[in-house]
Structure 1
């Protein structure tokens, strides 16, 4: 069964005298969170975003629960659907729930103003990628007081043991923030940013396109073209999106194609000037 490995892990961690802990994505698991809250003592759960700079988002932020029964029906329900990315498990020394939550609060906000973001430590995919990238000696600063963690790794369950659980300061340059982005992740980020740009700047044209064809498929084809040309700067992507949106079903004019020995920047500047000329934006 899918749940056999994590269930064995839960039983073993409890046998060793450790507290069992669930890190839950509250935003997408609100019914589960509410059920767990109703069935937990006050000392068995904490909101990670509470008492932080993002306390206003606490209701949508991750919650951490400790629980006593590995075979709890609500835990089993989560184990039966690992692909929904609800979070992950950890084992802790008894009474260390506040320590774990404080550990992640200190690592929550990343980047500098005005480009700050929230680190999605509660996402099993984020945890899995970080642990795959980090060396064993880097685990303690990342996992903190967690003795062991158990998580869905995309197509199977996995567990990782922390060689030195404890309290650690946040490194000046945390290695877990340097995890290489996969091509799929990079494309997803570009898709999100492209969609935001079009909805903010060209919402009517984008809506008209959506009436004629699948907007997601069109976005992917357009971004694939940008990648083939090595147009990755925001100015280049926005130019291509805007130009293609004017006639989304038409083939590109011949002057759009790359010339021999032309760099991506040279190619972009030539096409930009040619497009402006043919659209009457520059003197003939």
Structure 2
């Protein structure tokens, strides 16, 4: 991959007197080690430090100041943008603490007990969000950031913040409504289902794993839910629990969709049949 685009962007930002920074994903262990060894303490930040996600700090993103537009330390990253290692950005001089505070305020999304970490450091998240947000909503998202340079998936891109500054966190951030790709949605749903079964039905899930790969089994169950149109948490939970009780026998004929039956009618009929037959899942 050509480094020309990000290097030109870095040159312009540096020539304008802006501070240059790298936001780095924790998976880039080798580069992170090099940057930590060659950076003064005031030239990097651990983004999850002093936040509710502090226990994950070492596995979270780091931000590093780049003192030169031609910094050779990041050449391996620029040569492999498809690794999705993070993104580059510029700030007014001495504005890093404000930038860190801005993103830490946006780190936790959702309400208890359904909170999650917002992966703002992922260039794929940044790319989708900037493509989705109207221009007038970009400042509240980017905060003090002057400009960003990132891998869009097929090419390098850069975006300038139309009004850099301090912004409070909106009550309903528009960027959290950014549509997620179907593949990512499936991955997240499978991960959530996996965590649910581990937390609530650990023994039955462990027994299943002795006879077949749980990831493949779970993927098949979720594909079945898609086919039937069972998408609510109650429907998915019902299907997973009862499938877990009969992994070797498969779905009973009573579970199959009947002609002209809607997804809701199908679910209500099957759940009633299970209760009638004494098939309620109990542990």
Coarse TM-score class (shorter-chain normalised): 0.7 to 0.9
CA contact (8 A) 2:31 2:74 kept: no
Report deviation, 1:207: 4.1
Which residue does the alignment assign to 2:25? 25
Please state if 1:11 is matched with 2:44: no
For residues 136-158 of structure 1, the C-alpha deviation after alignment (integer angstroms, 9 at most, x for no partner) is 22111111111110112222221
Separation in structure 2 between the aligned mates of residue 41 and residue 251 of structure 1, nearest angstrom: 60
Report deviation, 1:82: 2.2
Which residue does the alignment assign to 1:171? 170
Gaps of 5+ in 1: none
Which residue does the alignment assign to 1:192? 191
For residues 238-280 of structure 1, the C-alpha deviation after alignment (integer angstroms, 9 at most, x for no partner) is 2212332344354533221222443323211211232344566
Structure 1 residues 280 and 20: alpha-carbon distance in aligned structure 2, compared to 1, 3 A threshold: closer
TM-score (normalizing by structure 1)? 0.87
Please show how residues 44-59 of structure 1 align to structure 2 within 5 Å: 44-59=43-58
Range moving further from structure 2, 28-37 or 162-171: 28-37
Which residue does the alignment assign to 2:244? 245
Structure 1 residues 207 and 112: alpha-carbon distance in aligned structure 2, compared to 1, 3 A threshold: closer
Range moving further from structure 2, 179-188 or 129-138: 179-188
Please show how residues 30-179 of structure 1 align to structure 2 within 5 Å: 30-179=29-178
CA contact (8 A) 2:243 2:250 kept: no
Gaps of 5+ in 2: none
CA contact (8 A) 2:20 2:90 kept: yes
Report deviation, 1:191: 0.4
Report deviation, 1:88: 0.6
For residues 159-208 of structure 1, the C-alpha deviation after alignment (integer angstroms, 9 at most, x for no partner) is 11111222222222211111123322221121012212333344444445
TM-score (normalizing by structure 2)? 0.88
Separation in structure 1 between the aligned mates of residue 253 and residue 171 of structure 2, nearest angstrom: 50
Q: What is the total number of aligned residue pairs between the two structures?
A: 280
